[in-house]
Amino acid sequence: MKTNGRSNARFIAITAVLLWVATVPTTTATTPQYRIYDIGVIDLSDDASQGFGVSHGGIQAFTWTVSGGIVGLPNLAGRSHAVSNSANDSGVVVGTAATTLFGTSRLPVIWQNGAVSQLPLPPGETLGEANSVNASSVAVGSVDAGTLQRGVIYSGGSATIITQTTANGSFFVTAFGINDSGRVVGQGIDPMNAARNVGIVYDVGQNMAFEVGALPGLNGALAFGVSNTGYVVGSSMLNQGSGLPFIWSDQSGIVAVPLASGTSEGSARAVNSAGWVVGNDSSAFSIPFLYDGTNTYRLADLIPPNSGWDLSMNTSSSADGISDTGVVVGTGVHNGETHAYAMVPVAPSPTPTPTATATPTATPPPAPRVTPTPRPRPTPRPRPGL
pLDDT tens-digit series, residues 46-75:
444 455 555 455 433 355 555 566 667 888
Sign of the four-CA dihedral 357, 362, 366, 368 = positive
HSE toward the beta carbon, residue 356, CA cutoff 13 A: 2
Q: Label residue 39 by pLDDT band (50, 70, 90).
A: confident
pLDDT digits (tens, 9 = 90+) for 248-289: 999 999 999 999 999 999 999 999 999 999 999 998 999 999
Which residues are bridge partners to 155 per DSSP? 158
- What are the phi and psi torsion angles at 278 (to 5°)? -125, 155
Whether pLDDT at 381 is above 50: no
pLDDT digits (tens, 9 = 90+) for 189-242: 999 999 999 999 999 999 999 999 999 999 999 999 999 999 999 999 999 999
pLDDT at res. 65: 55
- What are the phi and psi torsion angles at 187 (to 5°)? -110, 135
pLDDT at res. 353: 47
pLDDT at res. 40: 62
The answer to whether the beta carbons of residues 249 and 212 sit under 8 Å apart is no
**Shortest CA distance to 90 belongs to which of 132, 131, 130, 137?**
137
pLDDT at res. 20: 30
